[in-house]
Structure 1
Amino acid sequence: MSLPALRQELALYKGPRSLQGEPTWSLHDPVRNLYFRIDWPTFEILCRWHLSDPQQILQAIRDETVLDLDEDYVKAVIEFLYKRELTQRASTRDSQAMSNETNKRKQRWYVWLLHRYLFFRVPLWRPDPFLTDTLSWVRWLGSRGFALATLAALMVGLVQTIRQWDTFTATLVDMFSINGLIAYAVTLVSVKVLHELGHAYTAKRFGCRVPNMGVAFLVMFPMAYTDVNDVWQLKSRRQRLTVGAAGIMTELSIAAWSTLLWAILPDGALRTGVFLLATTTWISTVAINASPFLRFDGYFLLMDALELPNLHKRAFDLARWDLRKRLFGLGDAVPEYHSRKRSRFLKLFAWGTWIYRLVVFSGIAVLVYLMFPKPLGPLLAWVELYWFIFKPILGELKIWYERRSDIVRTRRSLLTLFVLLLFAGLVSIPWDSRIDAVAVLKPAEQYNLTLRSAARLESIVVESGTRVEQGVLLARFKNPDLEFERRQLETRLAGIERLLQNRSVNDELRERSQVLTSDAAKLRSEIDGINEKLVALEVRAPAAGTVYWEDLDLNSGSWLEERTTLGQIIVEDKPVVVAYVDQLNLSRIELGARGKLFFDSGVIAPLNVELSSIATDATRVLNDTMLGSVNGGEILARSRGDQVIPETAIYQLRLEPQDDYLGDLSILQGHLTLYGEPQAWITPYWRTALATYRREAGF
Structure 2
Amino acid sequence: MTMQRDPGTIDWQQQPIRIASDVKVWPVRETGEPIYRIEIPATHQFFRVGLPEYTFLSALDGHRTIAQACGLVTARMGRAAPSSSQCESIARWLIDHQLAHFADAPSPRRERSDEASPTNAKQPKSIWSRWNPFWIKMPIPGASSLLQQLSRGLGFVFSTPMLFMGVLIIAAALFGLSSRWSEFLAGASSIFDPSNWAWLLFTAIGLKLVHELGHAIACHRSGGSVREAGLVWVLMTPLAYVDVSSCWRLPSRWSRIGVAAAGMFVEGLVASLAIAGWLLCEDEMIRWWCHHVILTAGLSTILFNANVLMRFDGYFMLSDLIDVPNLATEANQSVRQLTRRWFLGDASWTSSHTGWRRSAVFVYGVAAFAWRVLVCVSLAIAASTMFGGAGVVLSILGIWMWWGKPFVTWLDSMRSLWDTQPLQVCRGVMLGAIAMAMFGWMLVAMPVPSSVRVPVVVQYDPDSVIRAGAEGFLTELLVNEGDGVQAGDLLAKIENRELRQRIAELEIAQKQNDIRLRKAIESREESERLILLDNRQAVLEKLTTLRKQSDQLHILASQTGRVIADDLRSKLNTYIGEGDVLMIVAAETDKEVLAVINQAQVDDVRRQIGQPVRLVAPGRQTFWAELDQLQPRASDRVPNASLAATHGGPLAVRVEDASNDESSNDDRLGETTIDTMRLLQPHFRGVLKLPEDEARRLPAGLRLEAHFGWHQAPIAKRLNVWFQNAMAEASQATR
TM-score (ref. length: structure 2): 0.60
Q: Distance in 1 between matches of 2:395 and 2:140?
A: 28
Which residue matches 1:540? 555
Which residue matches 2:133? 117
Q: Distance in 1 between matches of 2:153 and 2:715?
A: 62
Per-residue deviation at 1:196? 2.1
Change beyond 3 A, Cα 1:260–1:572: closer
Q: Does the alignment pair 1:63 with 2:75?
A: yes
Which amino acid in the other structure matches residue 554 of structure 1? L
Q: Distance in 2 between matches of 1:322 and 1:61?
A: 35
Per-residue deviation at 1:77? 1.9
Q: Does the alignment pair 1:369 with 2:384?
A: yes
Per-residue deviation at 1:141? 3.2
Q: Does the alignment pair 1:229 with 2:245?
A: yes
Bigger drift between 69-78 and 353-362 goes to: 353-362
Per-residue deviation at 1:336? 0.9
- For residues 251-650 of structure 1, the aligned pairs below 5 Å read 251-252=267-268, 254=270, 284-285=300-301, 287-318=303-334, 332-354=347-369, 356-357=371-372, 359-372=374-387, 374-384=388-398, 446=463, 448-451=465-468, 458-461=476-479, 466-469=485-488, 473-476=490-493, 538=553, 540-541=555-556, 545-546=559-560, 551=565, 554-557=568-571, 564-567=580-583, 595-598=611-614, 618-619=633-634, 642=664, 647=681
Change beyond 3 A, Cα 1:390–1:457: farther
SS of the residue aligned with 1:118? coil
Q: Distance in 1 between matches of 2:464 and 2:282?
A: 50
**CA deviation vs aligned residue, 1:154-177 (integer Å, no higher than 9, x gap):** 436745874797579768867986
- For residues 656-695 of structure 1, the aligned pairs below 5 Å read 684-685=713-714
Q: Alignment RMSD, CA only?
A: 6.4
Which residue matches 1:38? 49
Change beyond 3 A, Cα 1:453–1:196: farther
Question: Equivalent of 1:199, from 215, 227, 230?
Answer: 215
Change beyond 3 A, Cα 1:76–1:379: same
Which residue matches 1:77? 90
Per-residue deviation at 1:10? 5.3
Bigger drift between 343-352 and 640-649 goes to: 640-649
Which residue matches 1:18? 30
Is the 2:598–2:684 contact (alpha carbons within 8 Å) kept by the matching residues of 1? yes
**CA deviation vs aligned residue, 1:646-691 (integer Å, no higher than 9, x gap):** 9478697999x9x9999779999996879xxxxxx89654996799
Change beyond 3 A, Cα 1:180–1:75: same
Is the 2:478–2:490 contact (alpha carbons within 8 Å) kept by the matching residues of 1? no
Q: Distance in 1 between matches of 2:280 and 2:455?
A: 47
Q: Distance in 1 between matches of 2:604 and 2:299?
A: 45
Per-residue deviation at 1:298? 1.7
Per-residue deviation at 1:137? 2.7
Which residue matches 1:2? 12
Change beyond 3 A, Cα 1:645–1:360: same
Per-residue deviation at 1:311? 1.0
Is the 1:150–1:253 contact (alpha carbons within 8 Å) kept by the matching residues of 2? no
Bigger drift between 115-124 and 291-300 goes to: 115-124
Is the 2:446–2:714 contact (alpha carbons within 8 Å) kept by the matching residues of 1? no
Which amino acid in the other structure matches residue 155 of structure 1? L
Is the 1:12–1:26 contact (alpha carbons within 8 Å) kept by the matching residues of 2? yes
Change beyond 3 A, Cα 1:148–1:618: same
Is the 1:443–1:666 contact (alpha carbons within 8 Å) kept by the matching residues of 2? no
Change beyond 3 A, Cα 1:454–1:185: farther
**CA deviation vs aligned residue, 1:92-144 (integer Å, no higher than 9, x gap):** xxxxxxxxx889957776x437x53232321213245445555543343343x
Q: Distance in 1 between matches of 2:286 and 2:601?
A: 53
Q: Distance in 2 between matches of 1:81 and 1:606?
A: 73
TM-score (ref. length: structure 1): 0.63
Is the 1:118–1:219 contact (alpha carbons within 8 Å) kept by the matching residues of 2? yes
Which amino acid in the other structure matches residue 323 of structure 2? E
Is the 2:340–2:346 contact (alpha carbons within 8 Å) kept by the matching residues of 1? no
Change beyond 3 A, Cα 1:661–1:389: farther
- For residues 240-259 of structure 1, the aligned pairs below 5 Å read 240-252=256-268, 254=270
Which residue matches 2:229? 213
Is the 1:476–1:538 contact (alpha carbons within 8 Å) kept by the matching residues of 2? yes
Per-residue deviation at 1:225? 1.2
Q: Distance in 1 between matches of 2:626 and 2:176?
A: 49
Gapped runs of 5+ residues in structure 1?
92-100, 410-415, 488-527, 675-680
Q: Distance in 2 between matches of 1:581 and 1:532?
A: 45
SS of the residue aligned with 1:116? coil
**CA deviation vs aligned residue, 1:531-588 (integer Å, no higher than 9, x gap):** 99996983635x9544665536533546798665445678999999999897998699
Is the 2:635–2:682 contact (alpha carbons within 8 Å) kept by the matching residues of 1? no
**CA deviation vs aligned residue, 1:238-263 (integer Å, no higher than 9, x gap):** 54444333323433455567778999
Per-residue deviation at 1:350? 3.7
Gapped runs of 5+ residues in structure 2?
1-10, 106-118, 415-422, 502-542, 659-663, 667-677, 726-735
Change beyond 3 A, Cα 1:165–1:671: closer
Q: Distance in 1 between matches of 2:694 and 2:146?
A: 82
Which amino acid in the other structure matches residue 380 of structure 2? A
Is the 1:290–1:296 contact (alpha carbons within 8 Å) kept by the matching residues of 2? yes
Change beyond 3 A, Cα 1:544–1:155: closer
Is the 1:474–1:539 contact (alpha carbons within 8 Å) kept by the matching residues of 2? yes
Change beyond 3 A, Cα 1:329–1:475: farther
Q: Distance in 1 between matches of 2:331 and 2:242?
A: 26
Q: Distance in 1 between matches of 2:688 and 2:255?
A: 70
Q: Distance in 2 between matches of 1:670 and 1:274?
A: 32
Bigger drift between 262-271 and 360-369 goes to: 262-271
Percent of paired sites with the same residue: 17
SS of the residue aligned with 1:14? strand
Change beyond 3 A, Cα 1:319–1:457: farther
Is the 1:2–1:52 contact (alpha carbons within 8 Å) kept by the matching residues of 2? no
Is the 1:14–1:26 contact (alpha carbons within 8 Å) kept by the matching residues of 2? yes
Is the 1:597–1:607 contact (alpha carbons within 8 Å) kept by the matching residues of 2? yes
Is the 2:151–2:216 contact (alpha carbons within 8 Å) kept by the matching residues of 1? no
Per-residue deviation at 1:459? 1.7
Which residue matches 1:491? none
**CA deviation vs aligned residue, 1:475-529 (integer Å, no higher than 9, x gap):** 3457xxx989999xxxxxxxxxxxxxxxxxxxxxxxxxxxxxxxxxxxxxxxx9x
Change beyond 3 A, Cα 1:346–1:448: same
Is the 1:13–1:233 contact (alpha carbons within 8 Å) kept by the matching residues of 2? no
Structure showing greater relative contact order (alpha-carbon pairs closer than 8 Å, 6 or more residues apart)? 2
Which residue matches 1:678? none
Per-residue deviation at 1:286? 5.0
Per-residue deviation at 1:603? 9.5
Which residue matches 2:674? none
